[in-house]
Amino acid sequence: MFDGLKDKLSGFREDVEESTEAEEESAPDDESAAESDATDASADNVGDEDDVAAVETDADETADGDSSSSDDEPSTFQRAKAFATGRIIIEEEDLEEPLWNLEMALLESDVEMSVAEQILDSVRESMLGESRKQVETTGELVESALHDALLDVIAVGQFDFEQRIAEADKPVTIVFTGVNGVGKTTSIAKLSEWLADRGYSSVLANGDTYRAGANEQIQEHADRLGRDLISHDQGGDPAAVIYDGVEYAEANDIDVVLGDTAGRLHTSDDLMAQLEKIDRVVDPDMTLFVDEAVAGQDAVNRAKEFNDAAAIDGAILTKADADSSGGAAISVAYVTGKPILFLGTGQGYDDITRFDPEDLVESLLDGE
């Protein structure tokens, strides 16, 4: 999963390592002279422990990026002293080409532009002026910077879904939205099974009252899972169907109502008005947006548009197992401010997993 993006992030790490290694192997003459000056200064003070400590302390502070300098860029003498004390300072020129390559890699992986820029800014801020001991690897610094930058954009808005279900008054009502054909109905069935595995009962309510065959499709899932289904005739009021589902759950001590809705575009005024009516009549506890991870930038744009038109609480990305780019997984939470909660990873009812930002970042940076 997301192997393409994983390879591109590994390429950035290699680019930075090559860039800093090249600088290390070709130290300028003036740096060598400055290094010699620093060494001579230490030698001249042999026997005077206070002076030696002062020289070493000054070199260490400079190597660590002394913030008192008026220049953002380390001076030649500062770089030489860092080198003399066994350190290398990462400079703008070391990052310029690797960051450009990283930006292209992220955009090619369907990461949204503002998200890519945020990642680049965070990596640059974290690494520029950073020093490392020569016995350590630049790759470790790169991996740490990428880890923090990716986690910052992926983990936006995260909350504990199961805890929210546990603490909420029952029944909990969850409404699913999105465009046609992205797997809303199947995701409802998967989530019903996920809840059952954790001891929660659920009822399905078919608010997709306009699509021919919608009742039959969700009924087949309900039959396979042994769940009850609340539905009306085709053309009925979606809000009324889901409201009936809530009443049924209350009467039968069912924990969760899972309400399907018709697939729609955010530009479909009539269908968006339906969502507004469902919100007024049912007042759902959560509205989840569903789209395909393989849709990449389109999924990111639709998530933003749906959230703008009718606020969502989180997202489910289907077909995540078939997505090599990872752009939607990286971008959706950042552009909406709402978390990705689940990933669909196959055709079976058990093929749904809680989205864990930390696990995803570790997987992307695994290098295996």
Q: Is 366 annotated as a binding residue?
A: no
Closest to 287 measured CA to CA, from 297, 269, 272: 272
Q: Is 145 annotated as a binding residue?
A: no
Q: Is 318 annotated as a binding residue?
A: yes
Q: Is 345 annotated as a binding residue?
A: no
Q: Is 237 annotated as a binding residue?
A: no
Q: Is 182 annotated as a binding residue?
A: yes
Closest to 333 measured CA to CA, from 356, 350, 352: 356
Q: Is 142 annotated as a binding residue?
A: no
Q: Is 4 annotated as a binding residue?
A: no
Q: Is 183 annotated as a binding residue?
A: yes
List alpha helices for the chain, DSSP H: 3-25, 29-44, 49-63, 76-84, 92-108, 113-127, 138-154, 161-167, 184-197, 214-225, 238-251, 269-282, 297-309, 327-336, 357-364
Contacts of 343-349 with CB under 8 Å at 24 or more apart are 343/293, 343/316, 343/317, 343/318, 344/183, 344/186, 344/187, 344/190, 344/316, 344/317, 344/318, 344/319, 344/320, 345/1, 345/320, 345/321, 346/321, 349/189, 349/190, 349/193, 349/224, 349/225
C-alpha–C-alpha distance, residues 233 and 157, integer Å = 38
Q: Is 321 annotated as a binding residue?
A: yes
C-alpha–C-alpha distance, residues 126 and 146, integer Å = 9
For residue 171, say if its preceding peptide bond is cis, omega within 30 degrees of 0: yes
Q: Is 351 annotated as a binding residue?
A: no
> How many other CB atoms are there within 10 angstroms of residue 232's CB atom?
16
Q: Is 173 annotated as a binding residue?
A: no
Q: CA distances (Å), 335 to each of 31, 114, 117, 300, 344, in order?
A: 45, 8, 12, 8, 21
Report which residue type is found at 215.
N
Q: What token pair was written down for 281?
A: 């009549």
Q: Is 180 annotated as a binding residue?
A: yes
Q: CA distances (Å), 259 to each of 95, 125, 218, 347, in order?
A: 49, 45, 11, 20
Residues 41/42/46/48 CA torsion (nearest 10 deg): 90
Q: Is 320 annotated as a binding residue?
A: yes
Q: What token pair was written down for 59?
A: 């070199």
Q: Is 178 annotated as a binding residue?
A: yes
Residues within the annotated binding site? 178-185, 260-264, 318-321
Residues within the annotated binding site for GTP? 178-185, 260-264, 318-321
